Structure 1
Amino acid sequence: MVGYAFARNDVVSDLAPRFLAEVRRPPATGAEARRPALALVLGGGGLRGFAHIGIVRALEEAGIKPDIVVGTSAGAVVGAAYASGMTHAQIAAAASSVKLPSLFDLTLSSGGIMRGNNIAQWIDTITAGVPIERFPLRFGAVATDLQTAQAVLLDRGAAGRAVQASTAVPGVTVPVSYQNGHLIDGGVTSLVPVRFARAMGADLVIAVDVYCEGARSNARHAPAVISQVMHIQSCLIAKAEMAEADVLIAPAVSISGMSAKDEQAAAIQAGYEAARAALPGILAQAGAPHLSAQPAVRRAPAALGG
């Protein structure tokens, strides 16, 4: 887009975003052809996304295993880790061990104050550098194409770059460039990407909204009011798509103090409790075909930044 001076190291030639109309359900084989495909959709919401870890924990304990994981922004962070083969405990440990300031790589650019390369590096570290198409679970991160103002799916290549694009908050993180344009936070166009899950082949969708049910600020100064307006607009835009999920889980998570470890733990617990409450509805729709006898043995995660 004319007028932006993006950092050159954010040009990623191997990103291959696809618009919704370009995503096709792959042919099912074997057992997959005999049962409905289940998707877990994790929505955006910044640090509220810690609640997604609790969602994963509840599903693991219930023995529910999705076939597809789709995430936007914070949901893409947790979704990539989960789809790569990490348990909820490993994801929580990786998130707890990283120092959030280590993910902030400041830059002087008209496109934002952070490059986002550090979040990409961290994701690639905890997922062992495995490309998305080789994850045990099918995964897609959702971003927004800045030129067309449409949501796009990133389901191939480096997970770190896909998550970097999905989490590129406008005005904060430099947009991620690819051959045909620039990508920003997926929450701008698809806060809870139910439709991409359907396009990827999901028959049943469990969607998680961590953004629209949380407590809102009562502050009346200009930045807080602007933030509230953006919050309201985002949720109004997302409402119709969220309604298309078979099960919608919406833990009430507050943003206040979320950088503190106790607040992160509270968010994880809120997600866990909300998912536990939704289990009867999930089991009624998903049923036995998606129940696993025992959790898979998964590798230990790595950490970045101490």
Structure 2
Amino acid sequence: MKKLLLTLILPLLIYGQEQPKVGLVLSGGGAKGFAHIGVLKELDNLGIQIDYIGGTSMGAIIGGMYASGYSPEQIERIITDIDFLSVIQDNISREDKSYFEKAFLEKTAVSLPIKNGSIGLPLGLSKGQNVLNFLTELLAPVDAVDDFSKLPIPFFCVATDTETGEEVVLEKGSLPLALRASASFPSLLNPVEVENRLLMDGGVANNFPVDRMQEKGLDIIIGVNVQGTLLKREELSSVASLLSQIVNFQMYKKSAKQVKRLDIHIHPNINEYTVVSFDKKGEIVNEGVKSVKPYLKVLKELAKRQVNKKVRKEITYKEKQFLIDRIILKGNKYYTQDYILGKLRLKEGDSVSYRDISKKVNTLTASKNFQRIDYTLKKSFKGKKLEVVVKENDIKSFLSLGVHYDLLYKTGVLLNYNQKKILSSNDEISLDVVVGDDIRYDFQYFIDNGFLLSYGVSSRFNSFETDVLFNENNLNKINVDYRDFTNRIFGQTILNKRTAFGIGLEFKNLKISSDTFLTNNEETVFDSSNYVSSFAFLNIDTYNKSMFPTKGFLVNANFKWFMWSNRDNSLNDFANGSVGFNQYSQVDALFSFAKTFWEKFTFLNSYQFGATLGEEDSEIFDYRVGGYNQNYINNFIPFYGYDISSLTDQSFLKSEFHLRYQPFKKNYISFIANYGRVAKNVFRRGELLKDTKSGYGVGYGLETIIGPIELKYTWSPDHNDKFLLFNLGFWF
């Protein structure tokens, strides 16, 4: 009935206007706001000229892009290409993370801040840094505009003051920052500071700002409303749904009043979608297109009356270099300008692009020293002026949680405590405590001096039970309790966050015992000794992901000289009765790389070797090859097709070929082949390929928030044993 009256009455109003001015209001609604694109496509096709645009949240983002000169088709391509969930979650490129974080902190699923001794919750799931970077790059063609009424189409958006709950209309300043503020969905994105006011999502105060558009004096106002409806009694089945209902009471009540102010109310049929249906972009856009059809007649009449139409010039974003002739830094108290610009690797006179700026800001974000980094670029005399406003992070400590299961360590729950700035401005600690079938801990303290010499100490206790082959003459493996207590002090230098080279000293206490070796179940101790050694290492890690990498390479090279041990002769190798302790060395290295082709296929190849130099008088530190764990310690080496420690000797060679197929997002099918040789000296002339072992595997893996979940079936033609392997969660 309402649409019928509109069809009859609105043409009379239109004919009363020589050149009717049209305002367009786009409501907030998260992913449902993609329907705005479909509506804009239809309005463009009909020849409707929009003279003013206003919006809230996603409506502000879509409206701001259209007001800046992007066509609906361009906007659709942009939102189709971007992974919104990745942007919202502030996923930082692994290459931007510190070496310490990549080495020790990529094991947990949840991280909670600790402030004043209490564990809290973050203001939002994300700081929204990637959202601001995305908007800044996208709106680069209009970065000179700080009065939104001067955009190709005049524009405003709405945010909410977090302290007072008041509505804030944003019409001047930085357009990317204004859109970021308007779309700061509570609990999802952190609030944003604009003109000394902390702002959050405009939907809280005015999700459908038709009244603000009325104040602009437009003749015709079109509103696109993508809000849902209040839930029915039977739909209120959880605390989350009840809280959502409470929040929506006032929002929908106010929006109902706003609808009455409209001349044309377009309400797409998108009730089956939610604010986070980012994977349904195409469907939601199509619903927006369909929602215009009931109004085609009146809209065509409106288009006819708009005789003197402006020629709309579309903009395109092209990556180009520009000069930074001035840098203004605000908000820093503890961190100096030299520190911040050093992290940004930026100085006045540099030539950069918007993409470069985003990457540099992400590098600063990855330091976790800042709660927020806002920046604007404005035209200046010779190039552009960069203004960076930072809010330093007063939270230095975090408690993180992880879970894991594998067939060796069984179930484990990880509690990680991470703190910065304990004794100096550039030190950091990480303490892992694993509670489960095997109690473990891993402590790291590190003073990061970057390229200059850095220092650290570490302490580790690790224990597990497994069947170990100590001597190939034994018919059966022995179930042993393996306990390792290792302390290290080291110095290292770090290059480009990817490479670390260092030297140090190690003190190790090792106890290996069994209750099943003797028939009377008395404990048999194979080793209970202290070892002192010096070591050197080289680590290079350019993998783009810690789990299921698709590109990059990894190098781990180690040298260790066993200098001293208090090993009691009676505890020496039970099999051959060796006596005394001889100094000896071991060297090992791993090189692996990943390369993706045809988008869905990734080839991973690795080569690894280990060798003992000098006369080792015990089998305790022989290389023990077999199994599949990525959390092995000491000289345990994974090898598909063989059980843990099935192959043992003083040296080994191994190569692995891994083809991985991704049928759909975060799902992987793997085909694995590995080949190796284990002997006293695998490099003996003429024997390099002698008695080569082989193993194969197929598997399926999932990439989840708690880490990889993998199931693999492995076998070897060398024997009849088959193995079904399973692991869940990040490896620790």
Q: Kindly tell me: are residues 277 and 292 of structure 1, through their superposed partners in 2, closer, same or farther at Cα, counting changes over 3 Å? A: farther
Which residue is 1:259 aligned to?
Answer: 278
RMSD, aligned α-carbons: 2.9
1:23-58 deviation per Cα after TM superposition (whole angstroms, max 9, x unaligned)? xxxxxxxxxx96332111000000000000001000
Q: Could you tell me which of 139, 150, 169 is aligned with 1:153?
A: 169
Shift of 1:141: 1.2
Q: Could you tell me which of 51, 73, 95 is aligned with 2:35?
A: 51
Shift of 1:117: 2.7
Which residue is 2:285 aligned to?
Answer: 268
Q: Kindly tell me: are residues 147 and 219 of structure 1, through their superposed partners in 2, closer, same or farther at Cα, counting changes over 3 Å? A: closer
8 Å contact from structure 2 (residues 88, 126) kept in 1: no
Task: Using the aligned pairs only, state the percent identity.
Answer: 27
Shift of 1:79: 0.3
Q: Could you tell me which of 116, 127, 134 is aligned with 1:115?
A: 127
Which residue is 1:300 aligned to?
Answer: 316
What is the CA–CA distance in structure 1 between the aligned matches of 2:150 and 2:132, rounded to whole Å?
17
What is the CA–CA distance in structure 1 between the aligned matches of 2:29 and 2:160, rounded to whole Å?
15
Correspondence list, 1:277-288, <5 A: 277-284=294-301, 287-288=304-305
What is the CA–CA distance in structure 2 between the aligned matches of 1:291 and 1:214, rounded to whole Å?
43
1:214-263 deviation per Cα after TM superposition (whole angstroms, max 9, x unaligned)? 99893612212322343344212211012111111111213257222xx2
8 Å contact from structure 1 (residues 204, 286) kept in 2: no
Which residue is 1:196 aligned to?
Answer: 212
Letter in 1 for 2:124: G
What is the CA–CA distance in structure 1 between the aligned matches of 2:268 and 2:177, rounded to whole Å?
28
8 Å contact from structure 2 (residues 54, 157) kept in 1: yes
Correspondence list, 1:16-31, <5 A: none
Q: Could you tell me which of 69, 73, 82 is aligned with 1:98?
A: 82
| Structure 2: unaligned runs, 5 residues or longer | 1-16, 92-110, 114-120, 320-354, 359-732
Which residue is 1:18 aligned to?
Answer: none
Q: Kindly tell me: are residues 214 and 84 of structure 1, through their superposed partners in 2, closer, same or farther at Cα, counting changes over 3 Å? A: farther
8 Å contact from structure 2 (residues 161, 198) kept in 1: yes
Aligned to 1:75, what secondary structure does the other structure show?
helix
Letter in 2 for 1:127: L
What is the CA–CA distance in structure 2 between the aligned matches of 1:182 and 1:76, rounded to whole Å?
18
Letter in 2 for 1:103: I
Whose helix proportion is higher, 1 or 2? Answer: 1
Shift of 1:208: 0.7
What is the CA–CA distance in structure 2 between the aligned matches of 1:63 and 1:99, rounded to whole Å?
31
1:211 aligns with 2:227: yes
1:42 aligns with 2:60: no
Letter in 2 for 1:156: K
8 Å contact from structure 1 (residues 117, 164) kept in 2: no
Which residue is 1:12 aligned to?
Answer: none
Normalised by the length of structure 1, the TM-score is 0.78
Q: Kindly tell me: are residues 214 and 264 of structure 1, through their superposed partners in 2, closer, same or farther at Cα, counting changes over 3 Å? A: farther
Q: Could you tell me which of 250, 256, 267 is aligned with 1:250?
A: 267
1:52-106 deviation per Cα after TM superposition (whole angstroms, max 9, x unaligned)? 0001000000000110010100100100110011111100011111112123227
What is the CA–CA distance in structure 2 between the aligned matches of 1:224 and 1:154, rounded to whole Å?
31
Q: Kindly tell me: are residues 285 and 189 of structure 1, through their superposed partners in 2, closer, same or farther at Cα, counting changes over 3 Å? A: farther
8 Å contact from structure 1 (residues 104, 114) kept in 2: yes
What is the CA–CA distance in structure 2 between the aligned matches of 1:268 and 1:214, rounded to whole Å?
23
1:181 aligns with 2:197: yes
8 Å contact from structure 2 (residues 26, 63) kept in 1: yes
Deviating 4+ runs (over 6 angstroms)? 214-217, 302-305
Letter in 1 for 2:202: G
8 Å contact from structure 2 (residues 19, 308) kept in 1: no
Which residue is 2:241 aligned to?
Answer: 224
Q: Kindly tell me: are residues 49 and 96 of structure 1, through their superposed partners in 2, closer, same or farther at Cα, counting changes over 3 Å? A: same
Whose strand proportion is higher, 1 or 2? Answer: 2
User: 43-52 or 131-140, which moves further after superposition?
Assistant: 131-140
Shift of 1:193: 0.7
Which residue is 2:712 aligned to?
Answer: none
Q: Kindly tell me: are residues 125 and 290 of structure 1, through their superposed partners in 2, closer, same or farther at Cα, counting changes over 3 Å? A: farther
What is the CA–CA distance in structure 2 between the aligned matches of 1:298 and 1:214, rounded to whole Å?
39
Shift of 1:284: 4.5
Which residue is 1:234 aligned to?
Answer: 251
Which residue is 1:66 aligned to?
Answer: 50
8 Å contact from structure 1 (residues 124, 158) kept in 2: no
- Bigger relative contact order, structure 1 or 2 (CA pairs below 8 A, ≥6 apart): 1
Shift of 1:191: 1.0
Shift of 1:119: 1.6
Q: Kindly tell me: are residues 265 and 213 of structure 1, through their superposed partners in 2, closer, same or farther at Cα, counting changes over 3 Å? A: farther
8 Å contact from structure 1 (residues 55, 272) kept in 2: yes
Which residue is 2:394 aligned to?
Answer: none
What is the CA–CA distance in structure 2 between the aligned matches of 1:114 and 1:210, rounded to whole Å?
24
What is the CA–CA distance in structure 1 between the aligned matches of 2:21 and 2:283, rounded to whole Å?
31
User: 192-201 or 227-236, which moves further after superposition?
Assistant: 227-236
What is the CA–CA distance in structure 1 between the aligned matches of 2:213 and 2:57, rounded to whole Å?
15
Aligned to 2:187, what secondary structure does the other structure show?
coil
Q: Could you tell me which of 159, 162, 169 is aligned with 1:143?
A: 159
8 Å contact from structure 1 (residues 43, 73) kept in 2: yes
Shift of 1:285: 5.4
8 Å contact from structure 2 (residues 28, 57) kept in 1: yes
Shift of 1:159: 1.5
What is the CA–CA distance in structure 1 between the aligned matches of 2:215 and 2:132, rounded to whole Å?
26
Q: Could you tell me which of 78, 82, 101 is aligned with 2:66?
A: 82
What is the CA–CA distance in structure 1 between the aligned matches of 2:214 and 2:245, rounded to whole Å?
30
User: 178-187 or 44-53, which moves further after superposition?
Assistant: 178-187
8 Å contact from structure 1 (residues 44, 74) kept in 2: yes
